[in-house]
Amino acid sequence: MKRLFLSLTAAIALSGCASQMPSHIALNPQVPNIETRLHSPQTISLETIDARSANFIVRFNHDDEAAKLVSPSEAPRKQMDEVFRQGLTKAGYQLTPNSMNQLQIQIEQLLTDVDSGTFSYQADTNIIINIIAKNNNHTLTKRYTARNSVTGPFSADFATLELAINKLLDELSSKILTDPELNEFIQ
């Protein structure tokens, strides 16, 4: 009888753990490999803004249940600001707050929608970053987007979602930092 009670208690405890999902996702965008393109140092000021309407980055949808929302473990604005600061420095720019060349990075969307069924899931990630560059009396505005879709059996695991989001962030930051039109405009 005691053994049955212990087995039942262990099964209940394990089922409770299995239904618990982490409350945060760790983003870890990397600075892309960039070659120095400038012949002479160019100064630029940088501002990164999180213009998203909500703080969560993953939304789990399952049938008629309320969506489960997962936030990032660290502010995406802070992480992307660091990626762009390091990337621009690698490209040969000198960052200074009072430069005539200004670059504003706006994170417009950073969201993964996970639709779960009984035996499979589909995770669609969409990232939109707007860039506003100003020099003297001219302004350049560009919108960069990245999307991907991941499917799998059963339910989505956080490692797969983190990998997909981070890969997209890396691709998008590389695309922005190496954009010939943007670099020509800044110079």
User: 139 falls in which pLDDT band (50, 70, 90)?
Assistant: very high
Spell out the alpha helix ranges (H) of the chain.
Answer: 2-19, 76-90, 158-177, 180-186
E strand or H helix at 65: none
| Fold (CATH) for 2-186 | Double Stranded RNA Binding Domain (3.30.160)
Contacts 24+ apart (CB under 8 A), 144-148: 144/172, 144/175, 144/176, 145/172, 146/171, 146/172, 146/175, 148/124
pTM for the whole structure:
0.83
Residue type, 145: T
| Residue 32 predicted with pLDDT over 70 | yes
Question: Structural domain boundaries of the chain?
Answer: 2-186
Q: What is the pLDDT of residue 82?
A: 96
| Model pLDDT for residues 50-77, shown as the tens digit of each residue | 999 989 999 998 777 888 999 999 999 9
- Chain centroid to CA 173: 10
User: 136 falls in which pLDDT band (50, 70, 90)?
Assistant: confident
State percent of the chain over pLDDT 70. Answer: 87
Q: What is the pLDDT of residue 19?
A: 46
